[in-house]
Amino acid sequence: MPSSNVDTPNTDILAAVMNAILPGGDGFPSARPQRFGSAMMADAAKDNDTEMVRDLLSKLPETFVALEPGDQVAALQTLEASETVAFSKMIRHAYHAYYTDSDVRSAIEEITGYPARPPHFEGYEMEPFDAKVVAVQRQREPFWRKV
């Protein structure tokens, strides 16, 4: 039975949903801590999607928080199937929140070497162009269409 009392999304539900979407592992933190849910709602607000997310979450079973992880995922999959557009928007907001979080960005740096900073001003070091790479192409006769 759907829950009825989610006008501001219940923080427990929000935390459980965020955790089910982004459970952590492989060196990444879970998105369960409250700041992720808040950041997701803040991101949704920028696109005027607050109501939409509230609405979506209110369609989850009332017992969602207490469900086993597998059952939570199943409930979210059911929701995704019936509310495809809204659900994908919520996922977008969740990813926005998650991948701009400083702990997550540090985790990415640690695992992949991608620096936890914006591209500017430092940019990135690259090997300069090496003319040897075009050796094969240089052997080709000009083939542009003569007019």
> Is there binding between residue 123 and another protein (CB under 8 A)?
yes
Residue 73 is a binding residue for another protein (CB under 8 A): yes
Cα–Cα dist 144/96, whole Å: 46
* Chosen residue from 59, 62, 95, 103 binding another protein by CB under 8 A: 95
- CB-CB contact of 61 with 1 (8 Å): yes
Terminal CA-CA length for the chain: 73
132 near another protein, rule: CB under 8 A: no
Rounded CA-CA distance 127/134 in Å is: 16
Q: Closest approach of Cβ 46 to another protein, in Å? A: 7
| 40: contact with another protein by CB under 8 A | no
Are 91 and 21 contacting, i.e. CB atoms less than 8 angstroms apart? Answer: yes
Under the rule (CB under 8 A), what is the footprint of another protein?
20-28, 43, 46-47, 73, 76, 91-92, 94-96, 98-100, 102, 104-105, 108, 111-114, 117-131, 133-134, 136-138, 140-147
